[in-house]
Structure 1
Amino acid sequence: MKILVTGVAGFIGFHVARALLARGDSVLGVDNLNDYYDVRLKRDRLATLAATGVSKLEVVELDIADAAALRTLLAKSEIEAVVHLAAQAGVRYSLENPHAYTHSNVNGFLAVLEACRQHPVEHLVYASSSSVYGLNAHMPFSVHDNVDHPVSLYAATKKANELMAHSYSHLYGMPTTGLRFFTVYGPWGRPDMAYFLFTRAILEGRPIKVFNGGEMARDFTYIDDIVEGVVRVLDRPAVSDPAWSPTAPDPGSSCAPYRVFNIGNNQPVRLLEFITTIEAVLGREAVKDFQPMQPGDVTATCADIDALGAWTGYRPATPLAEGMARFVAWYRDYYEQREENSRK
């Protein structure tokens, strides 16, 4: 297949594109390479992709909110499916820069939907987030639950994406599948994520910030498990649910070709246990700076992945200690090489 991957220089986008190239697909990657975090890391991801998939990889630097440019790109590219992962990420950053989120996550997503409507594709898979569950305290989080109480603008934009996708599935018969990602970690990860920040701080002998007194839990999911789930979903386009009823509407499906799935690990880990795991891998003890709860944050996440398992056979398989060991090995190697190159 020829597949458009937006956000191809991002953490998940890079890994998904690499997996698609490895199985023989052609990838058209799009990214605006913004400076929300280390642009050099993004460029190094692209260089790694180019080294493994030159003949079947094309990368275009483009802002997905540029609707005309995106339509033109799809018109000439004969794209068969889209994996839309480009977005302005980060819960806390959305409190400081809200317009960046409406630009990328709302206007950008509308541009993707319109491009797919005008140049129809077999399937649009897009990134939602566990953040949509907001104030919902029913565990594990289920796609059959109501998600109308977000606690950050980031979460609100992701919920908006799901609503926008449904309207296009209903109006135009466009198969769309939203994936609610739960805390993803692993090599080539995002430097603003806790596991990355903790690793860097511990190695540098700096304190780590532990929010809510450590009374938090996250459904950490290793990147390889995530990628397997994304590819499995891509290969099975959404269809109308014959059991769906307008008198008792299930939020996770529809009479339109629309699906929403959790993609996580279903094994939440307490924050202090997570820190202990990192300490064990690094062979160093963290200096902990206990902080109050942050605005826009939630105390716990846990993914009910039964629906995704039933749909695709998805089952995560990477234990946290193993996944963190792989991340730390990558981290040490990558930044040692960067340091060595900067001295040359």
Structure 2
Amino acid sequence: MLELHDAPLAPLTTFRLGGPAARLITATTDAEVIAAVREADDSGTPLLLIGGGSNLVIGDKGFAGTALRIATRGFALDGTKLELAAGEVWTDAVARTVEAGLAGIECLAGIPGSAGATPIQNVGAYGQEVSSTITEVIAYDRRTRETVTVANAECAFSYRHSRFKADPERFVVLRVRFDLENASGLSAPIKYAETARALGVEPGDRVPLEKARETVLELRSGKGMVLDPEDHDTWSAGSFFTNPILTHEEFAVFHARVEERLGDGVLPPAYPAGDGHTKTSAAWLIDKSGFTKGYGTGPARISTKHTLALTNRGEATTEDLLALAREVVAGVHAAFGITLVNEPVTVGVSL
């Protein structure tokens, strides 16, 4: 276990923002992770868990406690059963499953971060979510001080949410287990319309696994959503806001605001979200509120490739980023009456 004091945290995040931690521990085994968590809990020390750092916004003052970087490794494949250590690089794991001819997470290629974060956020993109393939999550329960196995049905998965996200102080993810599909080298059925168009197929069709992965990577790259140290559009947390989910009544009010602002006949994006709810597009709301690609004049701006990504152009502070985020939230609410919710976890700061 590596221990540092007054350690910079910005290099451990994709935003490259945030002040130092009073103490930074890097754990490379499950036992080291558990020992560090127990030590912090026993001493009453604030604890910050860091995986790939792709979903973190850390305040400029840093973190006055112990930051625990989970750097465990482990990729175990048995037939269609996959077990990943929490510290495994997610996009590398996806590539290895495609090489093994297994379908189910190929459209989640290029997503930065670690495997352990995927069940917390119920990571999803291009028609796939990890909740459809996760069977179990192995976690350390800080309340009972035991290692527990949480079955899929007990994870309370929903859109970008889970039991782990709902109770962030309780569980520390150690390992994630998946059940993938052997479809003779073909992908899972393509669900996302944009992906189907790019592949030249119909939704529901299957394509060669590697073709699906490559196409998703191309789509993500075109939006600045694949990490590239030379491209400031990727100095972000990907999608900064979640897509709003509205009741049918709320959507009707929203639709009326759209017609009032943009004219009759303008239809906002609408996707069924189950149980009397409709999901709309945060990116569409941001764009139609006047925050177009590249918006901003300071060191934090909207990506030049995608309106849903807020970016550090190289010299930004966390406060610069939050000022931009607050401006976008206020502008969208003024235009359409919808309050956007940030997707990244904030540490020491809030919108």
- Return the TM-score normalized by structure 1: 0.26
State the structure with more CA Rg: 2
Relative to its length, the structure with more strand (as a share) is 2
Relative to its length, the structure with more helix (as a share) is 1
